[in-house]
Chain A
Amino acid sequence: MSAIARLDDVAMDVVHLTAPVSDADIAQLKLGDVVYLDGLLYTAREGVYRKVVDEGRGLPAGLAAMTNVNFHCSPAAAVRADGSYAMEAVTATASFRFGKSMSRWFAASGARVIVGKAGLTELAYREWFVPHGAIYLTTVGYGLGATYGRAIKRVVDVHWLAELGIAQALWVLEVERLGPFLVEGDREGRSLFALANREINLRLGEIYAGLPRYAQSRIGETTPEDEIV
């Protein structure tokens, strides 16, 4: 379906999604589309993944029915003296660290849309996302903390706050026009960053041709002849 072979082919069409995001909506997303999101989503990163993937605990009851959007994020948040929550900014954490957990995460959580930072490899998408019908949206910047923070309408709930702390707890958020995000991993497992990296790599040979090799490799490197270029 997609004729996107280079960064220049990206249309950057603006798309509005509502969570839970339907399979039909997921299927129509193209690399580089600019996405805004309405509805509910939840934050989950290392602490929550440890509970759900490693310890086999389910998501909090009812959550999977409410939304299928997982934000790799911890918020700038606080618990006020009256027990209510202050949350002013949200930004994503790098997602590739969750790579090897993703397949089991999708199976356990029912998530279909991951919002995060920096994406995963096309191999990761093909092996772990595509079989679950999941796609990846990257945040923009990075660091649109204030822009995204403004789109949070309500903290609906927070789970595992005492055990995991504010940064790692699972926060359920109601958002309105949260974005922009960019479609980084599509339904077929293609990656926008992979497109970019292929174009960047074409140039690196020329850049490195002008630079001398190191006088010595780093002591402790296990692959001294295999310089990363």
Chain B
Amino acid sequence: MIRPIPVKLIEDVARELTARAAIDIPPDYREGVRRARDAEQNRLARFVLDQMLENWEIASADRRPMCADTGLPRYYARVGNEAVIEGGFVALERALRRATAEATAAIPLRPNRVHPLTRADHDNNVGAHAPEVTYAFEPGRDFIDLTTVHKGGLFGSDYRMLFPADGVGGLKRFFVDTLVQFGKRGLACQPAVMGVGIGGAKDTCVRLGKEAACLRAVGSRNPDPAIARLEEELTALGNYVGIGAMGFAGTSLVVATHVEVAFTHTGGMPVGIHSFCLSSRRATARLHPDGRVEFRTDPEWFTDYYRRETIE
């Protein structure tokens, strides 16, 4: 009999993850920005990146949020197929909502979540469909990997239905369109991790692009060599556009590009593009049935099982 993962532990870990995500920049992203800074020749863009690097040090030293725009705090739960949750998934979701509200007041975070029409704010980042919880599963595991992501979202994301005739060239054009549209004046708070979701249904590519931006560490490559090459080409193209940090001329627009694909309609090639910004906030913990918790900064969301293509 497998021991259930205590729901109290899930709530405590979610609160801690929320604080870590808000305060501590993941080192893979920080080093990516440091490399962008070292390569950047534009004086203003360099100044911006130096300030960002210092901001992250202050955030960690003072234990205060790196950015006051909390974005939309949300969770990703990768649940082992053998894992048992005390009280079930409903208990897990209730724990995540409580943790979000408590952490919002305790850290504090900006209560960003409002009703879209009345603009009513519960002042706790909880409401209808907030925070979102996205699930994935993993065979042969008895733990939960819980990740929280705080991503802004007003600028830097776009969706477009491309067609087979567009091919990779059209994809690159849409990528550049998105970068230029949101890169000027630094609207997307770049340099960013660009996530590109290609294929599936409309919602699939938007979801995959977001997960590619937020749930893969800088330095990771798609296991498909052709897609990994495309990732490198898109990064190089993005940094050749001529826009730097905050929209000053320069070369620091893209820290990394992550591409994920889903099988799609034979007549179309939908694409979703997302930018994970200069406050790329994510934190992950693995919760074991024996109560052990391991914190880390790489969500390791894209597993071989998650990317599977065939009948098993």
Contacts and interface: CB of A to CB of B under 8 A. Distances in A.
Contact of B62 (A146, A199, A207, A211): A146
A94 interface: yes
A interface secondary structure, majority? mixed
19 contacts: A34-B47, A76-B70, A78-B106, A89-B66, A94-B154, A141-B186, A142-B246, A144-B51, A146-B64, A149-B65, A166-B121, A193-B185, A197-B185, A200-B249, A204-B241, A211-B173, A214-B166, A215-B165, A228-B177
Nearest to A81: B105
Contacts of B170: 212, 214-215
A40 interface: no
Give the interface size class of chain B.
Answer: 35 or more
Contacts of A167: 110-112, 114, 121
Contacts of A34: 47
A58 interface: no
Contacts of A143: 52, 55, 66-67, 69, 189, 277-279
Interface string A132-168: 0000001011111111111000000000000011111
B interface secondary structure, majority? mixed
Interface of A: 7-8, 10, 12, 32, 34, 47, 73-78, 86-91, 93-94, 117-119, 138, 140-150, 164-168, 180, 182, 193, 196-197, 199-200, 203-204, 207-208, 211-216, 218-219, 228
A107 B121 CA distance: 29
A165 B187 contact: no
A149 B68 CA distance: 9
For A76, A88, A208, which residue has the most chain B Cβ atoms within 10 angstroms?
Answer: A76
Given A75-B110, A118-B187, A208-B176, A147 B69 contact: no
B240 A144 contact: no
A167 to B, nearest CB: 6
Interface of B: 42-44, 47-48, 51-52, 54-56, 58-59, 62, 64-70, 104-112, 114, 119-121, 123, 154-155, 160-163, 165-166, 169-170, 172-174, 176-177, 180-181, 184-187, 189, 240-243, 245-249, 277-279
Contacts of A213: 173
A34 B62 CA distance: 24
A74 B189 contact: no
Contact of A78 (B105, B177, B245, B278): B105
B165 A94 contact: no
Nearest to B155: A94
Given A168-B121, A193-B247, A145 B68 contact: yes
Nearest to A118: B185
A89 B65 contact: yes
Contacts of A118: 185-187, 247
Given A7-B248, A78-B104, A215-B170, A204 B110 contact: no
A8 to B, nearest CB: 8
Given A148-B68, A196-B44, 15 more contacts: A7-B248, A7-B249, A10-B44, A78-B106, A88-B62, A119-B185, A141-B186, A142-B278, A145-B55, A146-B59, A147-B54, A147-B55, A168-B121, A180-B51, A216-B163
